[in-house]
Homo-oligomer: A and B are copies of this chain.
Amino acid sequence: MDIERRSGCPINLTMEVLGDRWSLVVIRDIMFGNRRHFRELLNRSEEGIASNILAARLKRLVSLDLITKLDDPTHAQKAIYSLTEPAIQLVPMIAMIGAWGRRHLPVSEDLSIRAELLENGGPALWDDFMNDLRNIHIVDPIGGANGSVRSPVLINLTNAFLEVRARMQRKE
């Protein structure tokens, strides 16, 4: 798949690549939820993506070299989806997107704690996170997918999220 290239403007080109309602949400789930299989992305999606849309987006993101698709050695028709280096470098942009959304849109407390931590951590945390992501998506995508290799930053973000959600559920 190729982009249209309506112009050579970096903002325009980025919107040609990521400017739809689903692509960045799928990347977010792979990146922050470490969802590496089709079923995980489909069934555990907060937004309820449809299977045909997910399939189309994954195929498109593979062809744009933002994710890779790898055979899962433990299961013949399972695939492992992993982020590529360009997608990992989206971290600072995604941090800013989360920061803006948190300030100006009706977010929920549990789903915005990770954006808050990422914003407060600043470039130092983003770099740590990007290095972790390289380990579980590029260096060892299989180990990253089955949990034998983990990201310390991701563990912290996930724990914070689970704590906030547990606290919210206790209160109602």
Give me the interface of A with B, judged by CB distance under 8 Å: 3, 5-22, 24-25, 28, 46-48, 86, 89-90, 92-112, 115
Q: Is the CB of A47 within 8 A of B6?
A: yes
Known: A8-B110, A9-B25, A10-B115. 6 other contacts (CB 8 A): A9-B46, A11-B94, A15-B25, A90-B100, A93-B100, A96-B96
Contact A97 B105 (CB under 8 A): no
| Least distance between A28 CB and chain B CB atoms (Å) | 5
| Residue contact B47 to A105, C-beta cutoff 8 Å | no
Q: Assess the B10–A102 pair: CB atoms within 8 A.
A: yes
Least Cβ–Cβ distance between A61 and chain B, in angstroms: 13
What are the 8 A-B residue pairs with the smallest beta carbon separation, nearest first?
Answer: A8-B108, A10-B101, A14-B101, A6-B47, A7-B46, A13-B105, A93-B96, A9-B111
Which B residues are in CB contact (< 8 Å) with A97?
A: 10-11, 14-15, 93
Residue of B nearest to A119 (CB): B10
Cα A106 to Cα B64 with chains together (Å): 12
